[in-house]
Structure 1
Amino acid sequence: MASPETYNDWLRRVRGALSAKGLDPGGAEYVLTARQHWTNTDLLLHLRNTISTSLAAQLARDAQRLLAAEPAQYIVGQAWFAGLPLHVAPGVLIPRPETEELVAWLLDSLPANAPVRIADIGTGSGAIAIAVAHARPRWQVTATDVSPRALEVAQANADRLVPRRITFRQGSLLAPLGDQRFTAIISNPPYISWDELAVMDRSVKQYEPSTALFAPDHGLAMYQALIRTAPAHLAPDGQLFLEHGYRQRTALTALFAADAAWHVQTKNDLAGQPRMVRAVYAVDSVRKEG
């Protein structure tokens, strides 16, 4: 009979197996800390401890799923975003750390205690809307998504983390907003071109919803729609915050340039990649220039 493994033994073995298959070895640590409700410090303190029989059985099942390229967040049903634990499930996009930087830009750009109204378009798990509502309790937040499954998950997350703080609407992009106008609209829409499918991670292709990832017209279709329709839903000098692919900045700024009322500012992420746009819709400035 094999001797019981320590946590360190299990991590080394599963990380090695994941790396050998070209998969993210970090998934092993993710599921282990989630199962034990540990911080990284807790993990370090317990590395030499022996894994219990019951936990060993659970981790064996988790390892099989990791080796089948299933994302660790789906395995444990949780992803962290802006310091908040969000429930995630198949059919709902796993929120990425880069999107936290877009949220931070929005929070820094608007007065914290003013009557600000925010719309999050394509909310998915509710990550952006919930992070905004949590950080700015006085703001009004509305979130939309075309997927009933995504809205079900987002509503459950909001009920747990920011109860009665977000209004959810089902429908495509801005259509569910009716005639409402907002101080700012924020979105991390599908922006990956189908041409990039071959180079994407296996776990993303197999498990995450393609409708939340891919868009026609080289990934620009959703931006075209948002830029065209956002002015009807923005208050005077309203702002549009968008995340985009690191190769899309030139094409995206060209789309904004078709309407002189848009005043565009771009921003790199912490890795130095061009990933964000903030655009102010200033009609009065165009009238003055004219």
Structure 2
Amino acid sequence: MTDTFYRNLSRPRSAASSVKSVRSSRSVRSTSPTSSVGNNRDENDALRPYVDAISQMFVRTREKGYNFSAVSDCIEEEITLKKLEPTQIFSWLSSNQNTVQYTTLLGFFYFQGIGIPVEQRKGFSLFLTAAKMDFFVAQDLVADCYGFGLGTTKNEDLSFMWYQKASQNGSVDGQFGLGYCYEAGIGTVKSMSKAFQLYKKSSKKENRSAMFMLAQCYEQGTGTSKDLEQAIYWYRKAKECGNSDAEAPLAELLATKNSG
């Protein structure tokens, strides 16, 4: 994430930079995919593969540690690439709420205002519905919302609980969020050793926010022994995965290493 989402600690994710108040409502040229599949195909069926591709990309980017704004950009770029309009996808999702994946994606459209005005409370409500049905991505999103009072009242205990559920259900980003709860004492007792282990686990599954945090642990010797070579390695990995926060500390460590 540039990757700051929910922290003001030179850590990835800062609430102010990640969740935009209003998404761009730019117009995209409307070219319905029905023209390419023939008039005999129902538009609902014609759009389904496009929505499924967007849904898969949504899950993938969240699990890789992209913040809300970066995920929104990816969705809008994908919609534009397919020569569709955000309103088409939103309307399709509104009429097809038969899976937790579609419920969560519709919630994200509301939450970020993709093709519609921002309605974070509606978005949170849909996240919570899917989270209660054990969808790990929705559980991670609910934890984010409770942690920072986005679309709901801030509740650190519930944030920790939902990160735990997401992590237990296999969410890589949930592992990262749970690690930060242990580091910052959000809804639980602080434990840098637990935070370090969770960052390490999430980093090995290519979460770019966790990579940055793991590098800081190695650089500062928090939760583990100080190891500047490992810090350089993980800052570099984070940078390669698109985490711009890693650029400055990586440059500093490399300069120090080369000068020595």
Band the TM-score falls in, shorter-chain normalisation: under 0.3
- Work out which of the two has the higher radius of gyration on C-alpha atoms and give 1 or 2: 1
More strand per residue: 1
Structure number with greater CO (CA < 8 Å, separation at least 6) is 2
Higher helix share: 2
Q: TM-score, normalised by structure 2?
A: 0.28
TM-score by length of 1: 0.26
